[in-house]
Structure 1
Amino acid sequence: MTDQAYNPNNTCYRHPDRQSFVLCQRCGRTICPECQTPAAVGVHCPECVREQRALFAANRRASGGPSGLTVARRRFAMLDQKGTVVLVAISVLVWLFDELSRGALTNLLAYNSLLLPVQPWRAVTVLFVHSGFLHILFNMWALWIFGRILENMLGTWRFVALYFITGVFGTMLVTFLAPGTWVVGASGAIFGLFAAFFVLQRSLGQNAVQLLVIMGLNLLIGFIPGTNISWQAHVGGIIGGFVVGFVFAQTRNIRQRPLQIALLVAAAVVAVALTVVGYAVTVG
């Protein structure tokens, strides 16, 4: 068992002699109580607080008599969960347009491994297509809840990378285990968020058993006959979530950012490569 007291990642980045296990919810750096500023969710480090205040001041100076669009743009700039908001908004707009066009976008964006060589974009666009109101309602509810939490913990670009990498891992396992099957929905990526959040909570020494139970129960629903749920995408997303979550947990130190980026790129490449291998083995 590793003694956390001697782990340099568990010391404040501004005061290396002070032990802490609390991370800035925006950039992920470890900060001691003196450096913590309470936020809507968790705490922020001095640099992130300074950046937010500077952005707010710049927006105020730039706004003389702001139009409605300017106000909306400024508020969006101050938002801490831009990635989550954009992902939910795109998914809802795609669903609405799909309903109005009687499935035109489903035909264009849904995934089927038989089409992988000629329409590879479907491995990603499948995350934005949903089959019905309840399908998108539950997926977007889960994305809104866990997405905002994870985006606050990881930052926007890390969260978006997590979402798409785990989504492709879900597509990958569908390619291996259900070749030729049409699938839609973001649930593979959402299960990836569950798994990554579990890993991060455990790495911070917090009890995440309840989350594991919830994830397990939701996973089991997909195995019930007649539910028409792609459990393969769920399992693939969980695998991807554990992989990416482990990368984030092991590269928390700000000095490890190049390594973190390299490992995320490697995870994405592995997901894509395995999807191609799955096609070659099952179809090609």
Structure 2
Amino acid sequence: MIRLTGAIKHLIIINAIMFFTPLFLKMDLTNIFALHLPENNHFGIWQYLTHIFMHGSATHILFNMYGLWAFGSPLEQMWGKNKFLFFYFSAGIGAGLIYTFVNYYQFNGIYEIFVNAGLDQNEIISILESGRTTDTRLTGAITQEQFSEIVNLYHTPAVGASGAIYGVLVAFGLAFPNAKLAMIFFPVPIAAKFFIPGMILLDLFFGVTKYSVGNIAHFAHIGGALIGFIIAWYWKRNQFKF
């Protein structure tokens, strides 16, 4: 049985409070704490931190907290509380930044179509806020697929600790490469050094091809994994130099 370490226990408690309290009080904190696109009126710089504690469903928070406990506990025992917390929030915030960068790149490519059609910023934001338009300047200039994509990018915020958890997964894989892992959807045990890169490659595939089932922020996963790898690799390489 994996021991529940101090920092992880408190992270799980905070996540549970942030999930269940709005349900009981019938409040919606999405516009305040979820991570929005910078062009969205609800965007706030603090959301790069707060979105890590927001979850969209009971299944979402359950899987993330299980991953935090199962893979984060050995890391906290190895690194200590402060070092683990630095790592966890660095991976989570880094995941949000990379997710924003990718979404902004996709958003800006379609946004230019509106600009080239003669619409100004206020007109574009008004159209995106409503999610529909009858503006004749856009007739033939933009496809329905492109319009749906930019509206979705504008309105859909990112929530969840998944980016930070992917950072934790990668760090676990670097520290314990031969540990055997098995998930519900693939119950055959596989060494962490093969299993975790496989998960990341699947996220990359789904993120690039958009074959994903459900609204999953694949590039947030990849971002968290990348930041987690850089930090964990650096620490592992230099741990005996201090």
- TM interval, short-chain normalised: 0.5 to 0.7
8 Å Cα contact 2:36-2:157 kept in structure 1? yes
Match of 1:137 in 2: 62
Map 1:29-44 → 2, pairs under 5 A: none
Map 1:201-240 → 2, pairs under 5 A: 201=176, 210-219=191-200, 220=202, 223=206, 224-240=211-227
* Percent identity over paired residues: 29
Q: Closer, same or farther in 2 for the Cα pair 1:117/1:252, shift >3 Å?
A: farther
Match of 1:282 in 2: none
Deviations for 1:127-173, whole angstroms, at most 9, x for unmatched residues?
Answer: 00000000001000111111111100111111101100011111011
Q: Closer, same or farther in 2 for the Cα pair 1:221/1:232, shift >3 Å?
A: closer
The alpha carbon displacement at 1:221 in A equals 6.0
RMSD across aligned C-alpha pairs, in angstroms? 2.7
- Unpaired segments ≥5 residues, structure 2: 105-153, 181-189
CA distance in 1, matches of 2:76, 2:41: 30
Deviates more, 1:186-195 or 1:213-222: 213-222
- 2:224 alignment partner AA: G
Deviations for 1:93-146, whole angstroms, at most 9, x for unmatched residues?
Answer: 110012223452222210013169962110011100000000001000111111
State the TM-score, normalizing by the size of structure 1: 0.56
8 Å Cα contact 1:167-1:186 kept in structure 2? yes
Map 1:64-79 → 2, pairs under 5 A: none
Deviations for 1:33-58, whole angstroms, at most 9, x for unmatched residues?
Answer: xxxxxxx97xxxxxxxxxxxxxxxxx
State the TM-score, normalizing by the size of structure 2: 0.65
- Unpaired segments ≥5 residues, structure 1: 1-39, 42-78, 257-284
CA distance in 1, matches of 2:98, 2:41: 14
CA distance in 1, matches of 2:69, 2:4: 13
The alpha carbon displacement at 1:227 in A equals 1.8
Match of 1:119 in 2: 44
Map 1:13-162 → 2, pairs under 5 A: 81-114=5-38, 119-162=44-87
8 Å Cα contact 2:19-2:54 kept in structure 1? yes
8 Å Cα contact 2:36-2:43 kept in structure 1? no
- 2:35 alignment partner AA: Y
2:102 corresponds, among 172, 177, 185, to 177
8 Å Cα contact 1:200-1:246 kept in structure 2? no
The alpha carbon displacement at 1:207 in A equals 6.5
8 Å Cα contact 1:97-1:105 kept in structure 2? no
SS of equivalent to 1:178: helix
Deviations for 1:56-78, whole angstroms, at most 9, x for unmatched residues?
Answer: xxxxxxxxxxxxxxxxxxxxxxx
The alpha carbon displacement at 1:210 in A equals 1.9
Match of 1:18 in 2: none
The alpha carbon displacement at 1:80 in A equals 7.5
Q: Closer, same or farther in 2 for the Cα pair 1:83/1:210, shift >3 Å?
A: same
- 1:91 alignment partner AA: N
Q: Closer, same or farther in 2 for the Cα pair 1:133/1:231, shift >3 Å?
A: same
Match of 1:48 in 2: none
Aligned pair 1:191/2:115, yes or no?
Answer: no
